Amino acid sequence: MPASLFVCASTSLRLRVLRPQLKRDPLDSHNLLSMSTLHVGVDSWIIQDGNYPDFRSGQEATFALEFVPTLERVSDPGEPRLHHQQGGVYSARGRVVFAEPAAWVCDFGVLAYRSDNRPPWATVGASVGGEIYLGIDPFDYVERLHKLPGMPALAYRFSIARIWLETTPWVQETDLDGRHFRRRKDGPPTFREVAATDAWKDDDTFAHYLLECQLQGAAV
């Protein structure tokens, strides 16, 4: 997946970023995880925009899941499943259960949505496989997508067991138009455990967190 770009000249460009492909980090897990445990990414701007308060370890929270896909259509995915790779990245198998121009939803054993870049083959019933980054719903589902006819319920209740703050160094660069931006340094990302998010202070307000979540309730 492409690296996140933060252009210093315009905070509006922070409103939709793709998380970088994570390689090896302290959260590596190469065993198939129970669907009751998920590592879910959240960028600080989502909290800063007022969509959620800061999170703390031990609390319960309700939110939908968004995925950033590198998926393709497959002939036989088997049972829907998520295999944790590292950080918020999973290898995924599942099927499309909702598809409209505004959004599409996949069943990976848990339901997750994407509100853009729906490939033409992603129709209801299509089997999918590949890699996804799993993140918290930034605003799309809560504010508008839940109103779409036929949209399945996507908001799960979670208990947040642990919180990790990404500490991979930033690299300053300049694009072809002379605009300055920064991205995470290539190589293995690093994290440290924190008791709570602090979106207005951590990493100069550009923090990326991982919420280690225990699934407590079905989608509503």
Q: What are the residue ranges spanned by the domains of the chain?
A: 24-168+187-217
pLDDT tens for each residue of 69-92: 888 999 876 788 899 988 899 999
pLDDT, tens only, 148-196: 999 999 999 999 999 999 999 999 888 888 898 888 888 878 899 999 9
Find where tokens 């300049």 sit: 174
Q: Is the pLDDT of residue 104 over 90?
A: yes
pTM of the model: 0.81
Q: How far is CA 199 from the centre of its chain?
A: 17
Quick check: 74 and 131 in contact, CB under 8 A?
Answer: no
How many percent of the chain have pLDDT more than 90? 61
Residue 131: C-alpha distances to residues 82, 92, 209 (Å): 9, 6, 19
Q: Which residues pair with 171 in a beta bridge?
A: 183
| Mean pLDDT for all residues in the chain | 83
